[in-house]
Amino acid sequence: MKKQLDPLIRVLGHPFQDTQLLELALTHRSHGNQNNERLEFLGDSIVNFLIAEDLYQRFPQAREGQLSRLRARLVKGATLAEVAREFSLGDYLRLGSGELKSGGFRRDSILADSLEAVIGAIYLDAGMSAVRKRVLDWFSERLEKLTLNDTQKDPKTRLQEFLQSRQYALPRYEVVQVEGEAHSQLFTVECVIDQLDYRPLGIGSSRRHAEQQAAEKTLQALEVK
């Protein structure tokens, strides 16, 4: 399998001594009992630490909450899936027949988990120094673009805190429509609060994204800066 993985190895930038580690990192649990779940567990901890370490050094004046929000932006599933797509990681995944038929190689959660597994594999193959170099290189453009202005709380949190500060009831989020196949659904969500006589809508590829968009529109309607 090494020759088949050579293009991926080149784009990852790490010359694996043990390519079986990479093969395991690319094997989803739907493929069999020998899969990447343990490597994913390891890689998740490593990427969180490495990004936290870089942010700590990059923003010496930042508060703990600001650092946490910046890290969350970089290590969330959607961002990890974006990085995985830059490597065409989905083309190399070993999936069970059901996941193949449902387009699992395109799914954010599978791509993000697989990238974490690759990070775990690099660590086991060559140690912390090697994996630090790779991860920071992969995330370099995203890290360079960050500023402390990016640490504003997400819309749902801001809306909740705004309503709580005035002793109003908390918002409700109601799913009004789900469209598309299981691997590419589109959610429409309403935000319901007593202070508005209509329900702002949010649309997104996940319920969470749709709720955030609905909360943002509600904040705009309430003229909350």
- Catalytic residue IDs: 44, 116
Burial class (CB in 10 A: 0-12, 13-18, 19+), 2: exposed
Residue pair 116/80 in contact by the 8 Å Cβ criterion: yes
Amino acid at 19: T
Enter the tokens of residue 125.
């193959």
What is the distance, to the nearest Å, from the Cα of residue 89 to the centroid of all Cα atoms in its chain?
Answer: 15
Enter the tokens of residue 23.
């093969």
Burial 169-208 (b: 16+ CB within 10 A, else e): eebebeeeeeeeeeeeeebbbbbbbeeeeebbebebeebb
User: Closest Cα to residue 54, out of 75, 85, 24?
Assistant: 75
Sign of CA dihedral 45, 70, 80, 7: negative
User: Closest Cα to residue 191, out of 162, 161, 170, 168?
Assistant: 170
Amino acid at 207: R
Residue pair 97/82 in contact by the 8 Å Cβ criterion: no
Distance CA 80, CA 120 (A): 14
